[in-house]
Amino acid sequence: MNIVVCVKYVPDATADRKFEDDFTVDRVGVDGLLSELDEYAVEQALQFREKREGEEITVTALTVGPEKAVDAVRKSLQMGADSGVHVVDDAIAGSDYLGTSLVLAKAVEKIKADAGADLVICGMASTDASGSVVPAMLAERLGMPQVTLASVVESQGDQVRIKRDNEGSTEVIGATLPIVLSVTDQSGEARYPSFKGIMAAKKKPLETWSLSDLGLDADQVGLSVAYSQVEDTTARPPRTAGEIVTDEDGSGAGALVEFLASKKFI
Amino acid sequence: MSEVLVVVDHADGEVKKPTYELLTIARRLGEPSAVFFGSPEQGDAVAEKVKKYGAAKVYVVDDAQIKGYLVAPKAEALQQLAEKSSPAAILLPSTFENKEVAGRLAIKLGSGLITDAVDVADGGVTTQSVFAGNYTVQAKVTTGTPIITVKPNSAAPEEADGAGAVEAFAVTISDVAKTAQVVATQPRQSTGRPELTEAAIVVSGGRGTGGNFEPVEGFADSLGAAVGASRAAVDSGWMPHAFQVGQTGKTVSPQLYVANGISGAIQHRAGMQTSKTIVAVNKDPEAPIFELVDFGVVGDLHTVLPAATEKVKERKG
């Protein structure tokens, strides 16, 4: 069995994230890293493998992104994935959800042909776009069951069950492998790479694919054929400094209520 | 005028406020048609509600063969409805589930998708708040039928007369859309407080509560507010995940947000930074949350909030 984990290289959320002149996200000028929310996906893949002793299970980490995005795959290998795939091609830059999901689907299909893709795992969202739509779109393109936003994952044989928090309810979702699974940050703390893991990662196979390796043409993806266009981006003006009072002998509560009343909240 | 499909947000037939916001927005783009997934018996009651906000048609899609499976059947149903009605746009309330429906629908229709809009102007230009609220983005779907998911509180609902003509719409769901089965559903118990994402006022607690949410809940109730929690409070098991405000929980944009014992990490800011007025109570004068506030109290929430609760009650008499 082979598990494919989709991981994204994103600008560090604690850095000063910004846009390029063409309104695409600056993925080069800002320090990047493996999206925190994808670490949970890598973790679940590793746990899936560890819980099934005696079965031959491998984990392939897949990323799509610029040169530096390979760091996301490397980190996944350090955590314990067995092999990596980095799809990199200038033509992919600026892809929207449709373009991104297309490239990922083609890459999963290629991995499937080579090593299998019995389980595809994604994080619940990227920390930059925060769309939470690509796992569902990947399931749509691959024609696989969509089992997404799992806070708990359980499996037996080829049956997978998850717990999913919806707006007004918690659901149990069941499906038969192969599936596309996405996991939330409630699914279990992600491990840190060990020193041994970091050393071992250097010897693990890591392939680099271009669009043509996936049978895609440059005019099928990227900014120029995106289905939506950004017309403008504006930095939010810094909030004007508010009034800060220090609570002394109960003065804080009075000041707080006065403020709320002055704004007509009471 | 072209139809604009608006997916009705409801809980067991009870129409929720974001539906009226979406219908209001839809009128800028064309003539709204509400799409109700539910039991046909509830369709007429829903139509009575939504026609007051300008819904000319109400498509009732019997969810008998839809609700037992995750997401995919709804996308198929909307595809069939879109092919029949050739809408000018399709608007959905921006929940996790609807975003997934919208994603699959975008592929089926070959149409552009914009998620988490906080406004949609005439002509379909959307506004989104990104990078934890540090940027706003104006965008537009340029190919196919614009599919836009819209966050709660993106517009003030405005009433308008609509015909509200009910039309039962029969859908055919494929076998491949029935492969992720809903095995069990546990409805969440109502807290009796406003819905977190829809509330005009949200009062949240974090690590600083030490696990005691009573002062936070008491203050929330005095203001008629919803209760929220930071990731730290949820991870500590003090509050269920459904109450989490932040990147991996709910994004809220109320008129007033009161953060108590919350430091203001980027993960939390992503979920509340676009609130109109922000207030914080925190013992630590260096807490980053104070950079965001309109008003802040450096003090212990366990003494400040109960005292403030009493004062609010006095004022309200």
Determine the angle formed by the axes of helices B301-316 and B214-223, rounding to 10 degrees: 20
Which has the closest alpha carbon to B204: B189, B192, B194, B219? B219
> What does the DSSP 8-state code read for residue A249?
T
Residue-wise pLDDT for A89-126, tens only, equals 999 999 999 999 999 999 999 999 999 999 999 999 99
pLDDT band, very low/low/confident/very high, at B258 (cuts 50, 70, 90): very high
Residue-wise pLDDT for A176-202, tens only, equals 999 999 999 999 999 999 999 999 999
> At A222, is the secondary structure helix, strand, or coil?
coil
Percentage of residues of chain A with pLDDT beyond 90 = 92
pLDDT band, very low/low/confident/very high, at B294 (cuts 50, 70, 90): very high
pLDDT band, very low/low/confident/very high, at A9 (cuts 50, 70, 90): very high
Task: Give the nearest chain B residue to A12 (CA atoms).
Answer: B131
Kindly determine whether residue B305 and residue A253, on different chains, have CB atoms separated by under 8 Å: yes
Provide the pLDDT for residue A14: 86
Q: Which amino acid is at A120?
A: V
Task: Give the nearest chain B residue to A243 (CA atoms).
Answer: B295
Tokens of A249: 């002998």
Q: Which helix (H) or strand (E) holds A120?
A: strand A119-123
Nearest to B141 among A131, A227, A252 (CB): A227
**Which residues in chain A have their CB less than 8 angstroms from residue B310's CB?**
253
| ipTM entry | 0.96
DSSP A1-31: -EEEEE--EEE-TTS---B-TTSSB-SSSS-
Nearest to B138 among A17, A232, A261 (CB): A232
Residue-wise pLDDT for A128-174, tens only, equals 999 999 999 999 999 999 999 999 999 999 999 999 988 889 999 99
Q: By the CB < 8 Å criterion, does B293 face chain A?
A: yes
Question: CB count, 10 Å around CB of B307?
Answer: 20
Nearest to A13 among B266, B293, B294 (CB): B266
CB contact set of B74 (below 8 Å; sequence gap of 6+): B37, B66, B101
Residue A213 has pLDDT above 90, yes or no: yes
Provide the pLDDT for residue A100: 98
Q: By the CB < 8 Å criterion, does B138 face chain A?
A: yes
Residue B1 has pLDDT above 80, yes or no: no
Provide the pLDDT for residue B189: 82
Residue identified by tokens 């690590």 is B207
Determine the angle formed by the axes of helices A251-262 and B301-316, rounding to 10 degrees: 50
pLDDT band, very low/low/confident/very high, at A236 (cuts 50, 70, 90): confident
Tokens of A106: 């083609």
Q: From its phi and psi, is residue A57 left (phi > 0), alpha (psi between -120 and 50) or beta? A: beta
- What is the rounded average pLDDT for all residues in chain A? 96
Which has the closest alpha carbon to B78: B68, B95, B65, B91? B91
Encode chain B in three state secondary structure. CCEEEEECCEECCEECHHHHHHHHHHCCCCEEEEEEEECHHHHHHHHHHHCCECCCEEEEEECCCCCCECCHHHHHHHHHHHHHHCCCEEEEECCHHHHHHHHHHHHHHCCCEEEEEEEECHHHCEEEEECCCCEEEEEEECCCCCEEEECCCCCCCCCECCCCEEEECCCCCCHHHHCCEEEEEEECCCCCCCCCCCCCEEEEECHHHCCCCHHHHHHHHHHCCEEEECHHHHHCCCCCHHHEECCCCECCCCCEEEEECCCCCHHHHHHHCCCCEEEEEECCCCCHHHHCCCEEEECCHHHHHHHHHHHHHHHHC
Nearest to B247 among A130, A140, A242 (CB): A130
Strands of A2-6's sheet in order across: A206-209, A83-87, A58-64, A2-6, A119-123, A179-183, A146-156, A159-165, A169-176, B181-187
Residue A247 has pLDDT above 80, yes or no: yes
Q: Which of A95, A227, A248, A262 to mutate to test the interface with B (most CBs of B within 10 A)?
A: A227
Kindly determine whether residue A125 and residue B141, on different chains, have CB atoms separated by under 8 Å: no
Kindly determine whether residue A239 and residue B111, on different chains, have CB atoms separated by under 8 Å: no
- What is the rounded average pLDDT for all residues in chain B? 96
**Which residues in chain B have their CB less than 8 angstroms from residue A234's CB?**
135-138
**Which residues in chain B have their CB less than 8 angstroms from residue A260's CB?**
223, 256, 279, 312
pLDDT band, very low/low/confident/very high, at B296 (cuts 50, 70, 90): very high
Kindly determine whether residue B295 and residue A259, on different chains, have CB atoms separated by under 8 Å: yes
Residues B132, B136, B137, CA angle at the centre, nearest 5°?
120
> What does the DSSP 8-state code read for residue A201?
H
B57-75: average pLDDT: 97
Tokens of A225: 């054929």
Provide the pLDDT for residue B193: 94
Task: Give the nearest chain A residue to B71 (CA atoms).
Answer: A146
